[in-house]
Amino acid sequence: MHRIAYLAAIAYTVISVLYVILFSSGNNPSVYILLLFFGLQFFAVGFLFGNLRAIAMQPLGHIAGIGAAINGSISTVMAVPITNYIGSFVSDSVLPLFIGFSIFGVLSLLVFMVLKRDAKLARV
């Protein structure tokens, strides 16, 4: 689960950064190109969220229902203000959306790296 989530986070970040690099001039791509990028992005999100939820639920097997409810509510409470802020910049281009994807993709990769480093230190 950890490896799949890490690879999905890399894909998520690379796809969004690639979009930002290609279309940072402000010109909107065709709707087919946009749908391609969204499709790739949400494919990565499917692997990322599914595995991260499973990792979060791993120690809560004995209280899975309550754990899933708490996990879902906390992630929603965190996501709503972030999406409202990023969404406020979207007017006639989706570039701000992909910039937000890029920023939080890089942050998630940093979290993965810190957790991997801490796991290696705990084994020593």
Q: How many angstroms separate the CA atoms of 30 and 110, rounded?
A: 32
Give 37's pLDDT tier (boundaries 50, 70, 90): very high
| Cβ 48 vs Cβ 9: under 8 Å | yes
How many of the other CB atoms lie within 10 Å of CB of 89? 12
Phi, psi of 28 (to 5 degrees): -80, 135
| Cβ 24 vs Cβ 93: under 8 Å | no
Give 124's pLDDT tier (boundaries 50, 70, 90): low
Task: Give residue 44's pLDDT.
Answer: 95
Q: Is the pLDDT of residue 15 over 90?
A: yes
Q: Is the pLDDT of residue 25 over 90?
A: no
User: Which residue in the block uniquely carries the two structure tokens 């709707």?
Assistant: 31
Domain residue ranges of the chain, discontinuous segments joined by +: 2-123
Give 1's pLDDT tier (boundaries 50, 70, 90): confident
Phi, psi of 63 (to 5 degrees): -130, 50
Give 62's pLDDT tier (boundaries 50, 70, 90): confident
Per-residue pLDDT reduced to its tens digit, 82-120: 999 999 998 888 999 999 999 999 999 999 999 888 777
Structure tokens at 96: 């701000």
Give 28's pLDDT tier (boundaries 50, 70, 90): confident
pTM assigned to the model: 0.85
